[in-house]
Amino acid sequence: MKIFLNALLVSVSASLLYIFIMFVTPMILMMIGSSAFTSSPGMFGHTLYVLHIADQEFLSKATNLGLILSFILGGVLYYGGRTLRNKWLHQNL
């Protein structure tokens, strides 16, 4: 149960990191000097995120697909890292 809760915590953290990155990216691009930028990549017929900068206005949107993929990626990274760490520890005994 502890492993599952840790994986859940890492997955939620990855989703929160995705939301934070989507919030901060347009501001960083505006500070760099990008005054016209639009990006909305798609996957499986849905958009991963929406970024739009025009003059001094910006729009950023974290989509459901992006949240789901970041949640899954967090879990995969947790279990993958845990497996690699256990393999490495058992080889060095």
pLDDT single digits (tens) 29-59: 888 888 888 889 988 899 999 999 888 888 8
* Predicted local confidence at residue 24, as pLDDT: 92
Q: How far is CA 33 from CA 30, 37, 40, 41, 60, in A?
A: 5, 10, 20, 22, 17
- What residues make up the domain containing 60? 2-91
Q: What percent of the chain has pLDDT over 90?
A: 45
Q: Report the domain count for the chain.
A: 1
pTM (global) more than 0.85: no
**Number of residues in the chain:** 93
